[in-house]
């Protein structure tokens, strides 16, 4: 529970923590709504499009708030197996619930969710007791706050906002909304048993008009669409509720039209407050590909796994001399050139705010290993012989690894300084060759498993020799480096070494001693001030694979304790304050949770 400020004014006196936000999605885009009832982030066209609300990144970036005028005590929860959020405000005048959702298409069920989302935010206010005075404050600022729209009164008390390429229509049932230059400020009352609905519909200004939906009816319709979707996914393992929540988050981060999974909803939420490590994560990373595929299979989402795979194969295209980028746009775009939004202050003055991500230009030798591993995961379903395009892709990736594995790269953490021989990159080069050899019978006459096996074995010997540091007693982050790196925990996860191997066991112990904390968090390296949620779940997996199930379970439950009250994880957790850091909600954190839960389940599953 938390106290809202109850002010009704557009600018807060403080910056909400990341954990204050709930996540809404229509599988086209997503929104963040705070405990105080303010929607501070929404990019309605699609996840990586320009925002119309960006107060998350600047007090003047636009928002839409509905909350009691009086200060309130807040409780909130998702309707089970949905991203329909119910927030209850308890005030001296009485209690009221605000139900928030991004509308599904009318009649959408199961795998239709998100295919034709109407881009409409729904907000329904329900009186629970007493008579509560409510305040609505609507201040859209399209294109990351660069535009201030014209607001026009429309029939039946609606307001039309237009600026640049954006049209928004705000309506309220039984409410007459009137603009005051660049915003709508509206006060109304709700009594016990009364419902007041609002809908905010987006459309491109030079296209069909924004959709008109009944908010009360469509909130229920949207909840039923999510429930029907989750009914098709039956996870049989332990930590059932947490896995289903994380699977719902992954579904919410999926761009339904292509099947791509966005790494996060947001851009430029800092890894460290006041630092410049602020990146745009609204794209889909191939490096995360096999982990994501595994999590989707574990969470009983085979349809989503197949669509993600098809998106990746189409996005990669014909393999040439250039390395395959580590990330793509949600419809397969390759050029994601980065620029700064100098007009935005950034979260808690953490600049710059970046749009795009120049990691697409980096050499990342681990990408082919992730993609070929994903093909291997699906090989039983792909037939005895892969189709021509898929066969060419695997052959091209294998040959690319054969030609380039000795080169340095930017590594798993996408460093922006110099290239190095990163351990995790070499291990995934080994993984590419290992799986290519296994897939050879399905690759036709151009496969060269004997040569590939020789390269695979050479990579393995090199990693075992160059990756180990006698003085530290562990595999380190890069060849010749004395810097401990939690990415070494990836070795057992991808099958390079068993967790019981003496050197691997020593590495796990050193990382646990030097990089982990009493509350279960694992830093990526010694100077990292925050715990990285994915690495924390990797340690759980390593302990489970080493046979230390009870320690793994205790650690897993400690990490679970760092989620917010809705079960959402950002990328990292501050070691001093416990505050979440980095873009949110973070797909990799929830992928790590699902895979670790299954690792704890596997020994007891038939």
Strands 94-102 and 85-91, how do they pair?
antiparallel
- Residue 571, helix vs strand vs coil: coil
**Res 112 pLDDT > 90:** no
* Predicted pLDDT at 306: 86
Tokens 């599953």 — which residue? Answer: 605
| Paired tokens of 543 | 């302990």
Q: Are 294 and 606 spatial neighbours (Cβ–Cβ below 8 Å)? A: no
**Res 256 pLDDT > 60:** yes
In a domain, 451, yes or no: no
Q: What is the mean pLDDT of the chain?
A: 94
**Res 462 pLDDT > 60:** yes
User: Each residue of 42-53: pLDDT tens digit?
Assistant: 999 999 999 999
In a domain, 174, yes or no: yes
Out of 11-25, 344-358, 452-466, 467-481, least confident range: 11-25
Between residues 224 and 299, which one has the greater pLDDT?
224
Q: What is the mean pLDDT of residues 553-570?
A: 98
User: Each residue of 371-385: pLDDT tens digit?
Assistant: 999 999 888 777 777
Q: What is the mean pLDDT of residues 548-561?
A: 98
User: Each residue of 234-248: pLDDT tens digit?
Assistant: 888 999 999 999 999
* Predicted pLDDT at 12: 52
Q: Could you tell me the residue range of the domain that residue 148 belongs to? A: 2-211
**Res 232 pLDDT > 80:** no
Residue 8: pLDDT band (50, 70, 90) is very low
* Predicted pLDDT at 378: 85
Cis, bond preceding 352 (omega within 30 deg of 0): yes
Within 235-279, strands assigned E span 254-255, 260-261
**Res 448 pLDDT > 90:** yes
Q: Are 360 and 277 spatial neighbours (Cβ–Cβ below 8 Å)? A: no
- Residue 575, helix vs strand vs coil: coil
Closest CA to 581 of 281, 252, 255, 245: 281
* Predicted pLDDT at 3: 40
Out of 110-114, 207-211, 441-445, 448-452, least confident range: 110-114
Out of 209-213, 226-230, 499-503, 602-606, least confident range: 602-606
* Predicted pLDDT at 605: 42
Between residues 409 and 322, which one has the greater pLDDT?
409
- How far CA 162 is from CA of 43, 203, 206, 343, in Å, comes to 15, 10, 11, 21
* Predicted pLDDT at 10: 41
* Predicted pLDDT at 110: 64
- The fraction of the chain above a pLDDT of 70, given in percent, is 97
Q: At what angle do helices 587-601 and 289-298 cross, to 10 degrees?
A: 50
Residue 472 φ/ψ, nearest 5 degrees: -95, -25
Tokens 């580590």 — which residue? Answer: 326
**Res 5 pLDDT > 70:** no
Question: In CATH, what number is assigned to the domain containing residue 13?
Answer: 2.70.98.10
Residue 175 φ/ψ, nearest 5 degrees: -120, 140
Q: What is the mean pLDDT of residues 595-599?
A: 96
Indicate the number of domains in the chain.
Answer: 1
Q: What is the mean pLDDT of residues 455-470?
A: 98
Q: What is the mean pLDDT of residues 457-473?
A: 98
User: Each residue of 317-368: pLDDT tens digit?
Assistant: 999 888 899 999 999 999 999 999 999 999 999 999 999 999 999 999 999 9
| Paired tokens of 505 | 């066991």
- Length of the chain equals 606
CB burial of 426-451 (b: ≥16 within 10 Å; e: otherwise) equals bbbbbbbbbbbbebbebbeeebbbee
User: Each residue of 484-529: pLDDT tens digit?
Assistant: 999 999 999 999 999 999 999 999 999 999 999 999 999 999 999 9
In a domain, 310, yes or no: no
Residue 127: pLDDT band (50, 70, 90) is very high
In a domain, 17, yes or no: yes
Between residues 167 and 113, which one has the greater pLDDT?
167
| Rounded distance between C-alpha atoms, residue 116 and residue 107, angstroms | 11
* Predicted pLDDT at 251: 94
Which pTM was predicted?
0.95
- What sign results for the dihedral spanned by CA atoms 515, 517, 520, 521? negative
In a domain, 168, yes or no: yes
| Rounded distance between C-alpha atoms, residue 345 and residue 82, angstroms | 33
In a domain, 549, yes or no: no
| Rounded distance between C-alpha atoms, residue 209 and residue 168, angstroms | 9
In a domain, 69, yes or no: yes
Between residues 473 and 320, which one has the greater pLDDT?
473
Most distant CA pair in the chain: distance in Å? 77
Between residues 108 and 272, which one has the greater pLDDT?
272
* Predicted pLDDT at 604: 52
In a domain, 443, yes or no: no
Residue 109: pLDDT band (50, 70, 90) is confident
* Predicted pLDDT at 94: 98
Out of 142-156, 246-260, 384-398, 433-447, least confident range: 384-398
């Amino acid at each position: 529970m938390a106290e809202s400020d109850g002010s009704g004014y557009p600018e807060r006196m403080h910056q909400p923590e990341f954990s204050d936000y709930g996540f809404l999605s229509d599988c086209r885009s997503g929104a963040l709504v705070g405990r105080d009832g303010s929607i501070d982030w929404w990019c309605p066209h699609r996840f990586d499009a320009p925002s119309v609300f960006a107060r998350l990144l600047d007090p003047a970036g636009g928002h839409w708030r509905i909350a009691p005028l009086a200060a309130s005590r807040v409780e909130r929860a998702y309707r089970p197996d949905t991203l329909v959020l119910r927030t209850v405000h308890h005030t001296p005048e009485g209690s009221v619930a605000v139900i928030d959702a991004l509308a599904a298409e009318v009649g959408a069920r199961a795998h239709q969710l998100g295919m034709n989302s109407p881009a409409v935010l729904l907000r329904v206010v329900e009186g629970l007791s007493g008579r509560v005075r409510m305040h609505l404050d609507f201040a859209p600022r399209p294109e990351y706050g660069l535009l201030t729209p014209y607001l026009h009164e429309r029939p039946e008390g609606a307001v039309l906002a237009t600026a640049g390429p954006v049209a928004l229509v705000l309506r309220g049932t039984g409410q007459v909304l009137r603009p005051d230059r660049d915003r709508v400020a509206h006060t109304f009352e709700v009594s016990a048993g009364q419902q007041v609905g609002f809908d905010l519909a987006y459309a491109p200004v030079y296209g069909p008009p924004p959709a008109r939906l009944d908010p009360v009816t469509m909130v229920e319709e949207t909840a039923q669409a999510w429930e029907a979707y989750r009914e098709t996914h039956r996870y049989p393992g332990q930590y059932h509720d947490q896995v289903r929540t994380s699977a719902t988050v992954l579904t919410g981060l999926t761009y339904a039209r292509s099947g791509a999974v966005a790494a996060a909803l947001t851009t430029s939420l800092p890894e460290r407050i006041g630092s410049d490590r602020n990146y745009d994560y609204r794209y889909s990373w191939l490096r995360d590909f096999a982990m994501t595929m595994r999590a989707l299979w574990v969470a009983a989402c085979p349809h989503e796994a197949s669509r993600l795979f098809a998106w990746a194969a189409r996005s990669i295209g014909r393999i040439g001399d250039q390395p395959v980028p580590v990330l793509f746009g949600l419809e397969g775009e390759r050029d994601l050139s980065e620029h700064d939004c100098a007009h935005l202050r950034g979260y808690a003055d953490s600049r710059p705010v970046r749009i795009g991500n120049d990691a697409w230009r980096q050499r990342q030798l681990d990408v082919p290993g992730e993609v070929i591993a994903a093909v291997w995961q699906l090989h039983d379903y792909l037939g005895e012989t892969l189709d021509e395009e898929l066969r060419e892709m695997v052959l091209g990736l294998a040959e690319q690894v054969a030609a380039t594995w000795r080169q340095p790269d930017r590594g798993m953490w996408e460093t922006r300084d110099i290239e190095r021989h990163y351990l995790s990159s070499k291990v995934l080069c080994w993984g590419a060759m290992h799986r290519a050899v296994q897939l050879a019978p399905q690759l036709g006459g151009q496969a060269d498993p004997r040569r590939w096996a020789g390269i695979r074995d050479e990579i393995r010997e090199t990693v075992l020799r160059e990756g180990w540091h006698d003085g530290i007693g562990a595999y380190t982050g890069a060849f010749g480096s004395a810097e401990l790196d939690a990415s070494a925990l990836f070795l057992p996860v991808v099958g390079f070494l068993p967790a019981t191997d003496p050197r691997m066991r020593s590495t796990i112990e050193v990382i646990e001693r030097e990089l982990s904390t009493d509350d279960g968090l694992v830093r990526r390296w010694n100077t990292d001030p925050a715990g990285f949620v994915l690495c924390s779940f990797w340690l759980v997996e390593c302990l489970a694979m080493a046979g230390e199930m009870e320690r793994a379970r205790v650690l897993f439950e400690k990490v679970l304790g760092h989620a917010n009250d809705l079960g959402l994880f950002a990328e990292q957790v501050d070691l001093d304050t416990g505050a979440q850091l980095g873009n949110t909600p973070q797909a990799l954190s929830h992928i790590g949770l699902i895979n670790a839960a299954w690792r704890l389940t596997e020994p007891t599953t038939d």
